[in-house]
């Protein structure tokens, strides 16, 4: 099943790329209301401070699908993207049926969680209650939209079942729920995320749980999904909530210089406490999680680092 129009991805893939190998490195992230942008900004700071001859900047983007297109056309040197989108880009499937992207991973960073948010007083109690409602399904070209489509389609629903499917970024979604302009919003992001924290501080909210059957249906359509539980109180007043999780990966072009890939992978793990001080999602940024969750093979430079620290790299992650 194709989740996004091929023409949208094809247009992004056709963008003119700057020359690869410039001293200024670009990190494709997402909107400012999610986890990608602050984590990418922290990584950019670390690169500028610790890797001689390089500076880096975190770029605001439409997130996962756009980020993989930027890797394809040379518009970014690094990208943070959802594992299912990364896998589709690497294999030329789904949203990337127009062509494979030459990409390899440095690491799996942390799991996203799909979070369906409604005002506390809403009559929406379940996924099926989204029928006939105004729902934000994520920014165009984002991993959130791909995840939202997969969960809906896996459970016999589509955008046509909604009163309207609004393609808003995280901050816009939070504002629309706060102002009563939509009935529900879907996030796929590392929890807790700033835009939902800010929303919960100004309006009481609830998280909509997925049933065991709904999770199984979503996993059948999208095998990279995994069971995930949002703990009680992760946002002000919210209950423990069953949902699905998806790994996020730090991805580079397949032809990135081996030594640069090695240095950035080493920097990521040796300075991970700095990233944790920026966003709690990176509490899950460990060598064990990375080697267990990377959705595509690792860059040879990254493999060099993992083996240097004594980790066993699975055969499936060797290019």
Listing DSSP states for 62-90 in one string gives: S-HHHHHHHHHHTS-SEEEEEHHHHHHHH
| 102-114 residues labelled b (16+ CB within 10 A) or e (exposed) | ebbbbbbbbbbbb
Per residue in 38-60, pLDDT (tens digit) is: 999 999 999 999 999 999 999 99
Helix axis angle for 83-91 and 64-73, nearest 10°, is: 40
Vertex 96: Cα angle to 2 and 71 (nearest 5) = 150
Q: Do domains 6-109+249-317 and 112-246 have the same CATH topology?
A: yes
- HSE at residue 231, side-chain half, CA atoms within 13 A, is 5
> Which CATH superfamily is 6-109+249-317 part of?
Periplasmic binding protein-like II (3.40.190.10)
Burial (CB count <10 Å: 0-12, 13-18, 19+), residue 236 = middle
Instruction: Give percent of the chain with pLDDT exceeding 90.
Output: 81
Model confidence at 142, in pLDDT bands (50, 70, 90)?
confident
- Average pLDDT for residues 25-36, to the nearest whole number? 92
| Cβ pair 150, 221 in contact under 8 A | yes
Structure confidence at residue 94 (pLDDT): 85
Q: Is the pLDDT of residue 16 over 50?
A: no
Angle between helices 64-73 and 6-13 (to 10 degrees): 40
pLDDT at 9 over 80: no
> How high is the pLDDT of residue 222?
86
Task: Give residue 144's pLDDT.
Answer: 92
Whether residue 148 is predicted with pLDDT greater than 70 in this model: the reply is: yes
Angle, CA 314 vertex, CA 309 and CA 317 arms, to 5°: 100
Please write the tens of the pLDDT for every residue from 205-249: 999 999 999 999 999 998 888 888 999 999 999 999 999 999 999
Please identify which residue in the block is written with the tokens 């389609």.
153
Q: Is pLDDT at 152 greater than 70 in this prediction?
A: yes
pLDDT of residue 143: 83
The per-residue pLDDT for range 265-279, each reduced to its tens digit, is: 999 999 999 999 999
pTM, rounded to two decimals:
0.77
Could you tell me which residue, 7 or 46, shows the higher pLDDT? 46
Using pLDDT thresholds of 50, 70 and 90, give the confidence band for residue 1.
very low
pLDDT confidence of residue 23 = 85
Taking residues 65-82, report their average pLDDT.
96
pLDDT score, position 13? 43
Q: Does the structure show a pLDDT above 60 at 5? A: no
Longest dimension (CA), the chain: 56
pLDDT mean over 73-88: 95
Query: What does the pLDDT look like over 33-42, one tens digit per residue?
Result: 888 999 999 9
- Whose CA is closest to 234, among 281, 293, 177, 168? 281
For the cut 80, the answer to whether the pLDDT of residue 20 exceeds it is no
- Can you give the residue ranges of every domain in the chain? 6-109+249-317, 112-246
Tell which wins on pLDDT, 23 or 262.
262
CATH for the stretch 112-246 = 3.40.190.10
The DSSP code for 310 is T
| Cβ(210)–Cβ(243) below 8 Å | yes
């Amino acid at each position: 099943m194709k989740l996004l129009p091929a023409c949208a991805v094809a247009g992004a893939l056709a963008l003119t790329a700057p020359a690869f190998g410039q001293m200024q490195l670009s990190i494709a992230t997402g909107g400012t209301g999610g986890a990608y942008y602050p984590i990418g900004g922290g990584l950019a700071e670390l690169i500028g401070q610790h890797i001689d001859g390089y500076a880096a900047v975190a770029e605001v983007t439409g997130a996962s699908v756009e980020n993989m297109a930027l890797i394809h056309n040379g518009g970014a040197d690094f990208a943070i993207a959802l594992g299912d989108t990364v896998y589709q880009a690497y294999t030329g499937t789904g949203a990337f049926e127009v062509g494979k992207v030459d990409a390899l991973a440095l690491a799996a960073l942390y799991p996203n969680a799909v979070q369906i948010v409604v005002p506390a007083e809403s009559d929406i109690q379940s996924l099926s209650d989204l029928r006939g409602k105004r729902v934000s399904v994520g920014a165009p070209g984002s991993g959130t939209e791909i995840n939202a489509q997969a969960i809906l389609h896996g459970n016999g629903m589509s955008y046509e079942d909604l009163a309207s499917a609004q393609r808003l970024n995280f901050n816009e979604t939070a504002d629309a729920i706060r102002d009563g302009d939509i009935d529900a919003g879907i996030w796929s992001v590392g929890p807790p995320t700033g835009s939902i924290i800010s929303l919960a501080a100004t309006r009481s909210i609830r998280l909509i749980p997925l049933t065991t059957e709904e999770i199984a249906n979503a996993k059948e359509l999208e095998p990279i999904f995994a069971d995930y539980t949002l703990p009680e109180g992760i946002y002000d007043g919210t209950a423990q909530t069953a949902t699905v999780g998806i790994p996020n990966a730090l991805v580079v072009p397949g032809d990135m210089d081996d030594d640069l890939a090695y240095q950035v992978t080493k920097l990521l793990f040796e300075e991970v406490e700095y990233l944790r001080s920026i966003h709690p999602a990176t509490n899950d940024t460990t060598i064990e999680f990375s080697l267990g969750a990377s959705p595509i093979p690792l860059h040879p430079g990254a493999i060099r680092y993992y083996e240097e620290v004594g980790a066993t790299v699975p055969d499936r992650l060797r290019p």
